[in-house]
Structure 1
Amino acid sequence: MHVAHTAAELAELAALAGKKHKTRAVVMTMGALHEGHLALVRAARQAADEVVVTIFVNPLQFNDPADLERYPRTLDADCALLEPLGVDIVFAPSVDEMYPSGEPLVRVNAGGFNEVFEGVFRPGHFDGVLTVVLKLLNLTRPDMALFGQKDAQQVIAIKAMCRDLSVPVEIIANPTVRDADGLALSSRNVFLSADERTDALALSRALGEAEQVLDEGGPITLALAVGRAVLAEVPGVDVEYFAALDPDTAQSVPDGYRGDVTVAVAARVGATRLIDNVAARVGPREVARATAPATATAPATATATAPATATAPATATAPATATAPKKKRGGA
């Protein structure tokens, strides 16, 4: 495993690797790696010939200087976790390397993503995220980039950017990884006290309750009310939003909506801000229709049927340890 700290070093290593590898995957992180990050790396290792992991605490996406200052930086420990997984290159640039002129004059504007949910509570966050993601895509030039589904709105925004700006990369979302008690893994979990961690379990519990309402055919309004009631029972959880998002646009879905939905939550537990989400569906899932019998009695004129086109396999195959919070209707 090679560690590059400059764009020039990265380009040299990537050029050498490119002579023997056909496909490249990148996993972008801010370090302080946990099992959620490692699950992404394992998926990348299975999907591509070469794996690049970036470690960069991006100041552009922090609207709170204190949050940026205390974000954990553990490069040596991170590299020790990555090497056994077969990572080829770790790109760990400094802020000066990424932004040599200081504040960049040109940034990606996240548009409507700044106006809903995470964009409202973290002003400028998505502009900073999309700017650094685009820059890292340009530097690493991968065929695919893997991100965690825990940051659902971020994944939607990145997919939209790559689609709208014709960035030639496949964006893959890997399932959220959870501890055994249901808490979604996050580098920020280290800031939780024992009591705060117990309180934080209300987030996954609320999502599970809401998901079960939807699984049982209930409407969005009821699912959200049930989830919010779970959160209201825990005084240590200060909720910013508990909402149902369109999984393609991150916009709030209207009453009466039918289809796939992302139920998402953001809350502060003590001084720590946490987010989580679960994929669900409003209304019955579509099933393949049985072929209706033909009404005409005349024989068909064509005698040979063209073979069906083969479907390509999915690129990322590594499962996460857990994909959804446990659903316990009526439980604590």
Structure 2
Amino acid sequence: MRVFKTKKELKRHISALLSQKNKIGFVPTMGALHKGHLSLVDMSKKENDFTIVSIFVNPTQFDKKEDLEKYPRTITQDLSLLEQINCDAVFLPSVEEIYDQDVSSQAFDFDGLENEMEGKFRDGHFDGVGTIVKAFFEIVTPTNAYFGEKDFQQLQIIKKMVEKAQLDVQVVGCPIFREANGLAMSSRNERLTVAQRNEGSMIYETLKSVNKKIASHSLSDIQNWVTSEFEKHPLFELEYFVVADEATLKEVKNISPGKSHRAFIAVYADSIRLIDNLSLNN
């Protein structure tokens, strides 16, 4: 497994691969890798000739400095995990390598996708995401790039960015990888207490209950029920619960036949923010 720390080194290697018409798969991560990340790497390895994983904690997508500082950094363990599954290469740049002296975001227009859900609670987050993903796409020039559906809004925004910037990359969404109790895998889970992690099953169970209730309850009643469930729970605080149109990400008041809908949720366990989502049956 090759480890590249500079754009120049990596581009030189990629140029040689492309000259042989290799398909390049790319999995961008912020490290603290878990089985969800590794499942993306596995998919990339199946669909491409060469797979590159980036590990980079991107400062411009954190709206809270405290969250950036506390984000887990486990480089040695991450590299070991990637080596075990025969990843081809890792891009491990510094902040200076990516941003030079200007650690700031570009401003993006994602046709309004950025104003829904996460965008209402995380100021500037998606500009940061767009900035780093666009930069990595331009450095790596992948054939296919893989993202988990846990961050479904981010996935849709990256697809929109690729479309508007006319980048030659296929963005592939991959199913949410869950812990045994249903909690969506996340690097942030490492910061949870044992009780919070065990009780975290409630988040996914709530979404599954919503899916069952859709056929016989109004979305207003379901919203009230979800709010009530979290008000009763001692370990979690609900930030938002939204049922939205998958294409526009706009909240809906009623389920429309023939359209795809998804339930989205964000929950706090003390200062740790957890998100999840579930596609709803029409």
TM-score tier by shorter-chain length is over 0.9
Counterpart in 1 of 2:4? 4
What letter matches 1:14 in structure 2?
Answer: I
CA distance in 2, matches of 1:148, 1:49: 21
Counterpart in 2 of 1:265? 265
CA distance in 2, matches of 1:106, 1:262: 29
What letter matches 2:174 in structure 1?
Answer: N
Counterpart in 1 of 2:247? 248
Instruction: Say if 1:256 and 1:148 are closer, same or farther in 2 by CA, change over 3 A.
Output: closer
CA distance in 1, matches of 2:38, 2:153: 21
Counterpart in 2 of 1:232? 231
What letter matches 1:233 in structure 2?
Answer: K
What letter matches 1:249 in structure 2?
Answer: T
Contact 2:29 2:53 survives alignment (8 Å): yes
Counterpart in 2 of 1:285? none
Instruction: Say if 1:83 and 1:122 are closer, same or farther in 2 by CA, change over 3 A.
Output: same
In the alignment, is residue 277 of structure 1 matched against residue 277 of structure 2?
yes
Counterpart in 2 of 1:328? none
C-alpha root-mean-square deviation of aligned residues, in Å? 1.7
CA distance in 2, matches of 1:37, 1:198: 21
CA distance in 2, matches of 1:245, 1:127: 21
Write out aligned runs for 1:133-148 (5 A).
133-148=133-148
Unaligned runs of 5+ in 1: 283-332
Counterpart in 1 of 2:33? 33
Mean alpha-carbon deviation: is it higher for 119-128 or for 235-244? 235-244
Q: Larger helix proportion, structure 1 or 2? A: 2
- Give the match's secondary structure for 1:151: helix
CA distance in 2, matches of 1:39, 1:2: 20
Paired residues in the alignment total 281
Contact 1:203 1:231 survives alignment (8 Å): no
Contact 2:114 2:157 survives alignment (8 Å): no
Q: Show CA shifts across 1:153-209 (max 9, x none).
A: 101111111112211111111000111111110000011112222332221111010
CA distance in 2, matches of 1:169, 1:265: 29
Q: Which has the larger radius of gyration?
A: 1
For normalisation by structure 1, the TM-score amounts to: 0.80
What letter matches 2:183 in structure 1?
Answer: L
Contact 1:210 1:226 survives alignment (8 Å): no
Q: Show CA shifts across 1:127-176 (max 9, x none).
A: 00011111100000011111000001101111111112211111111000
In the alignment, is residue 98 of structure 1 matched against residue 98 of structure 2?
yes
CA distance in 2, matches of 1:236, 1:255: 31
Counterpart in 2 of 1:191? 191
Unaligned runs of 5+ in 2: none
Counterpart in 2 of 1:207? 207
Deviation at 1:256, TM superposition (A): 4.5
Deviation at 1:126, TM superposition (A): 0.4
- Give the match's secondary structure for 1:73: coil
- Give the match's secondary structure for 1:249: coil
Contact 2:247 2:260 survives alignment (8 Å): no
Instruction: Say if 1:197 and 1:98 are closer, same or farther in 2 by CA, change over 3 A.
Output: same
Identity %: 34
Deviation at 1:75, TM superposition (A): 1.5
What letter matches 1:62 in structure 2?
Answer: F
CA distance in 2, matches of 1:103, 1:31: 20
For normalisation by structure 2, the TM-score amounts to: 0.94
Contact 1:202 1:231 survives alignment (8 Å): no
Counterpart in 2 of 1:87? 87
In the alignment, is residue 23 of structure 1 matched against residue 23 of structure 2?
yes
In the alignment, is residue 153 of structure 1 matched against residue 179 of structure 2?
no
Contact 2:220 2:253 survives alignment (8 Å): no
Counterpart in 2 of 1:52? 52
CA distance in 1, matches of 2:58, 2:110: 16
Contact 1:110 1:126 survives alignment (8 Å): no
Contact 1:34 1:187 survives alignment (8 Å): yes
